[in-house]
Copies of this chain bind each other. A is one copy, B any other.
Amino acid sequence: MTVSEPTPLPDRSAEPTAAADLSLHAAEERFIEAMGLMHEEDRLPRIAGRLVGLLILSPDPVRFDHLAERLRVSRASISTNTRLLENMGVIQRVTRPGDRRDYFQINQEPGLLLRIVDRFRARQASAEEMKQALLPEPGAGGIVAERLDWFIRFYSTLADSLNSVLAAMASRDGNSRPDPA
């Protein structure tokens, strides 16, 4: 219960100046909304994206009902979307002994990014299947085959490099998450 109750903000106490705090608040708002938009592009509900944004900016786990207040959406939406993100491994639900309420924090997200890799791999695979079906053709090696090759090469290279970026970053900050995946 020591956590901020009345303030709608994640209450970083001991703020330097009121002005700085205000602009910070505005920036947070923008960031959160931007995250909402981004995730909408990735076919996730906007609220889920805002949730991610808010949790990125929150050093400590945030209470369920604070999420609803802060984002000004219904508890129903929070419930739905937190569970969605939880299942995707993007956020984590944490509880505290002697506290019935649920808190949420962000996972050092591999979840969202692995999704992207999967999409790329799927595209590569789809083109590869087509290429295979094309093979028995006599005039293979035609422009169609070339295009498919291009497509395949592009997406496989892309997925590979994405993977290696992920790996590099994981090894760099090492071990923050045990990550049961």
Footprint of B on A, CB under 8 Å? 12, 14, 16, 20, 23-24, 26-28, 30-31, 34-35, 38, 41, 43, 56-59, 106, 108, 113, 119, 122-123, 126-127, 129-130, 132-134, 136-139, 142-144, 146-148, 150-151, 153-154, 157-158, 161-162, 165-166, 169, 173
Residues of B within 8 A of A132 (CB): 27
Residues of B within 8 A of A143 (CB): 59
Q: Is the CB of A150 within 8 A of B108?
A: yes
- Please list the 6 inter-chain residue pairs (A to B) with the smallest Cβ-Cβ separation, ordered nearest first: A27-B133, A161-B161, A31-B130, A34-B126, A157-B165, A20-B136
So how many copies of this chain end up in the complex?
2
Question: In the complex, A164 Cα to B138 Cα: how many Å?
Answer: 34
A14-B138, A165-B161 given as contacts; is B27 within 8 A of A147 (CB)? no
Question: In the complex, A43 Cα to B39 Cα: how many Å?
Answer: 12
